Amino acid sequence: MLKEYCRRQIELIDRALDGMLPQAYPPAIYEAMRYSLFAGGKRLRPILLMAAADAAGGDGRKYLHVAGGLEMIHTYSLIHDDLPAMDNDDYRRGKLTNHKVFGDGMAILAGDGLLTAAFETMLAQPGVDPAALVTVVREVAVAAGAAGMVGGQAVDLQAAGREVDGETLRYMHRAKTGALFRAAIRSGAVLAGAPGDKLAALTEYAEQFGLAFQITDDILDVTGDEAKIGKPVGSDEKNCKSTYVSLYSLAGARDMAAAAVSAALASLEGFGSEAAVLREFVNYLLTRDS
């Protein structure tokens, strides 16, 4: 069910993104932006937004502009993260990274272009209460900025080459990875008009989902198949990065991931079948191979 659901949602999101970011002038920057945006991503953040809206009693397909904006922000972060001054990766999703194709300067501009296009796109969302849309866009902005993803990346950059403690690791990934998941899930709930108790439950789900995702990502960097994950295995060790595996061992990291998944499922106890996709998503994290 989950695989087919994701296939349908990805097709819907990709069609929408193609219209949101058409080829235009100057062609070089749009080509670079579209290269990474359509490089085969799983569209997890927009799909989670839509699934959260469905769980809150709405129709997630109505919110493609906000969902598409989230994917643009995520893609920009990957372009910049792969740069020589950051992680210095040559491959992403099995393809050459943006700077390897277009050069460092154009890659930086492609990331900048996607970040700013994201907010233009989200604010063009039709058919929603303007106050709710402003609330969502502000939340996404905070999640993407120095108090969220960018701040987490800054801590990650400073931590390269040295071991950090568990508290710093948790902060780093809660900000770098978890903040955008949290914003995606909460945005879907807010756009769908979720009452306070459901919004709180979905927020807790988002926190635990983000934690489980990052832990399993660290596990995959050690145990994964390079052909499936689309980048070299062992890149964290190569870049001397602290991970849940390096701090807590492979077995310890697996236990922590299972605990986070259990907590995420517990947060959905007040929901019925409308949250079935969210349950499948978080269960999938324990068996994911990419």
Six-digit token string for 24: 């235009």
For the stretch 59-107, pLDDT in tens is 999 999 999 999 999 999 999 999 999 989 999 988 999 999 999 999 9
Do residues 48 and 186 make contact, with C-beta atoms less than 8 angstroms apart? no
User: Which whole number is the average pLDDT over 199-214?
Assistant: 96
Average pLDDT, the chain: 93
pLDDT digits (tens, 9 = 90+) for 104-145: 999 999 999 999 999 999 999 999 999 999 999 999 999 999
The predicted structure's pLDDT at residue 152 = 94
pLDDT-above-90 percentage for the chain: 84
pLDDT for the residue numbered 58:
95
Give residue 241's pLDDT band: very low, low, confident or very high (50, 70, 90).
confident
Q: Cβ contacts of residue 45 below 8 Å, gap of 6+?
A: 67, 70, 71, 74, 180, 181, 184
Tokens at 75, concatenated = 């893609």
> Sign of torsion, CA 229 87 43 175?
positive
Q: What is the per-residue pLDDT across 228-240, written as a single tens digit (0 to 9) for each?
A: 555 555 565 555 6
Q: Residue 222: pLDDT band by 50, 70, 90 thresholds? A: confident
The pLDDT of residue 82 is: 96
CATH code of the domain made up of 2-284: 1.10.600.10
- Please state whether beta strands 95-96 and 91-92 pair in parallel, antiparallel, or not at all (unpaired): antiparallel
Q: Residue 191 is encoded by which pair of tokens?
A: 């756009």
Helix 64-81 with 2-20: angle, nearest 10 deg: 90
The predicted-structure confidence for 28-65, as pLDDT tens digits, reads as follows: 999 999 999 999 989 999 999 999 999 999 999 999 99
- Express each pLDDT in 153-166 by its tens digit: 999 988 888 889 99
Question: ω into residue 26 within 30 of 0, thus cis?
Answer: yes
Identify the DSSP state of 175: I
Q: 151-199 pLDDT, tens per residue?
A: 999 999 888 888 899 999 999 999 999 999 999 999 999 999 999 999 9
Phi, psi for 89 (deg, rounded to 5): -100, 140
At 161, is the secondary structure helix, strand, or coil? coil
Domain boundaries, the chain: 2-284
pLDDT band at 257, cuts 50/70/90?
A: very high
Rounded distance between C-alpha atoms, residue 149 and residue 92, angstroms:
19
Residue that has been written with the tokens 């019925």 in this structure: 272
Residue 289, pLDDT score: 76
Whether pTM exceeds 0.75: yes
Residue 91 DSSP SS3: strand
Model confidence at 282, pLDDT cuts 50, 70, 90, reads very high
pLDDT of amino acid 50:
98
